[in-house]
Chains A and B, each alone.
Chain A
Amino acid sequence: MNYKDYIRWERMPTTWCPGCAIGTIFKQLTFALADKGLRQEELVLVSGIGCSGRAAGYFNVDSVHATHGRPIAVAEGIKRANDRLKVIVFSGDGDLVGIGGNHLLHASRRDVDLTVICVNNGIYGMTGGQMAPTTPVGLKTLTSPFGNSYQPLNIQGIITANKRHWFARTSTYHLPGLQKALRGALDWKGFAFIEVMAFCIENSGRRIGFRNGYEMLLKLKQDYKIPLNPEAPLKENELGVMKNDGQTS
């Protein structure tokens, strides 16, 4: 398979703004799918609402664009109805851990066999740039004009609280790590969650002094490190994988 086979070319160009981070993740996923040789007939892409939520419609496979926060629930129904399908959820942080947080909590607890890719740009981009549950402390947004005063949600903590888990944090700057995470998640039997650190230039970055997407990309390079010891639990600024097959204590 060629990565181009997974893209619905007649839908190009995408709705995403110039400088957006989502396209990178989208394309990296098509590379990973091609690498695994997954046929279109055994794949289903599900996404929710938001910029990342538009991704489902750009894949050249059967896909579902669900309501806000519900892609994991729809994906769980699909997977339980037909176990032969590889079901991938591609959506944003507001969708998956904000409004859809309850489904994330419980689908991960039930260890449903899904690959969940969360584009974490720390903002509600499509609606103009409001504070998300993942927005860093102090960040000015439309709904936190004096700076966000809440701690961002610790997604890694939620996922790895389950005894059996697979969690990766990666970023759109660290492409080899992103590709490795996607392949690892596709191979994992059970609930696999990838938090891809991303950014939104148009509805967040410009308000806080960034001039273009490239500057935001370099900020990811600065902010996130790959730890020397891959076995240690990830700190909040570290990229890598945390997994437990449920047998190891």
Chain B
Amino acid sequence: MKTLIMGNEAVACGALRAGMTFFAAYPITPASEIMHVLAEKENEIAFVHAEDEIASIHMAIGASLAGRKAMTSTSGPGMSLKQEGIGLAQMMEVPLVIVDVQRVGPSTGMPTLPSQGDIIQAAHGSHGDYTAIVLYPSSVEDCYRYTIEAFNAAEESRSPVILLLDGFLAHLSETVDLENLPVSLKARTLLPLGQGRRHFTGLLARDGIPRTKDSEYYREWYARVKNKVLQAAQNYRFYDYLKNDQAETLIIAYGITHRVVLPLRHEYSLFKPVTMFPILDKEIRAAADAHKKIVVVEMNDGQYRGEVQKLLRQEVLSIPVLGGSISLNEIRQRLHEL
């Protein structure tokens, strides 16, 4: 059955389809609709409207340890607060999904306007080194599909996976037929609490015993965990590449920005990463090799451009779309000026 729903609602439906049975969050624009949908499912799932963002992610960690697929959702200001929990989930290797519906920052910024300003925060927001899987859909149907993939990736990598949206996509309504969408689900990978004698800690630990002064073990542990996430991420390389044989310029755009620049496919090649991190090295390199110029169009001041530039080791141009409003005409004009 076809229904008209918005991106946020599709995320909630996707989470339910993925088998999520624990959700905790704190209200925030423009992410609250995810909460609204899930609050009505209180008979089917454990739903907590928590006292703050920090509590909600830590509740989700507890619930995941206790055997449930768990999720929390927020926007930029809340994402900053959740970084503590993201680090803990990385250290304790807890599967979890965190949804960040981006709005214009820093700080309270422009709460109702969309942005893509949390790209770096999503990958590197918590302190210390860790490897994050970050997905970013660009249509309502994809919000549903990639919420499910985020849960699968979380289970397979035993790590907190971040699903990015922007305020535009979150509130974009589209007609979708979700029930008939084929999906595959990953089973739980973590034995629930109540086994008898395991110790989960935010400290560096080996078999539950802290090893806080063992530099050699840290290196061994770090390599194992990094490799584990990178291996799992191999199965989650999502992108869309529209190659235009006449084009000399490749536009890289993601999320709502990809939707806006889509009409430019007759003049340019378009590459849309859905898997933002770990960066799609082979795919982006291959696309870049066939073009003279590479431009990243994004609603921030070149955050992903920096990542692409680092990958390609060549100059990558940037068209930052700032302040929460986006127009195809303006982007087209700035492309001509490059």
Contact = CB atoms under 8 A, between A and B. Distances in A.
B208 A74 contact: no
B47 to A, nearest CB: 9
Interface stretch (A21-29, A53-61, A119-127, A231-239): A53-61
Interface stretch (B11-19, B54-62, B130-138, B241-249): B54-62
Nearest to A40: B196
Question: What size tier do the contact residues of chain A reach?
Answer: 35 or more
Contacts of B58: 66-67, 70, 73-74, 77
Contacts of A8: 197, 199
A192 B193 CA distance: 21
A43 B209 CA distance: 19
B52 interface: yes
A56 B208 CA distance: 11
A40 B192 CA distance: 14
Nearest to B195: A62
A41 B51 contact: no
A185 interface: no
B198 interface: yes
Contacts of B50: 73, 106
B85 interface: yes
Interface stretch (B66-74, B97-105, B308-316): B66-74
Interface residues of B, number: 43
Contacts of B67: 81-82
Contacts, number: 136
Contact of B22 (A61, A77, A102): A77
Nearest to B51: A106
Given A66-B202, A105-B51, A81 B66 contact: yes
Contact of A67 (B59, B84, B196, B210): B84
Contacts of A81: 21-22, 46, 62-68, 70
A139 interface: no
B164 to A, nearest CB: 23
A44 interface: yes
B24 interface: yes
Given A66-B202, A103-B51, A77 B59 contact: yes
B294 interface: no
Interface string A23-42: 00000000000000000111
Contacts of A63: 198-200
Contact of B193 (A44, A60, A105): A44
A75 interface: yes
Interface in B83-104: 84-85, 87-88, 92
A221 interface: no
Nearest to A86: B194
B290 to A, nearest CB: 46
Contacts of B60: 77
Nearest to A109: B51
A74 B209 contact: no
15 contacts: A60-B197, A62-B194, A62-B200, A64-B199, A66-B202, A73-B55, A74-B65, A77-B63, A78-B62, A78-B193, A79-B66, A81-B22, A81-B64, A103-B55, A106-B55
Given A70-B55, A70-B58, A81-B46, 8 more contacts: A41-B195, A63-B200, A66-B88, A70-B85, A70-B88, A73-B50, A77-B62, A82-B67
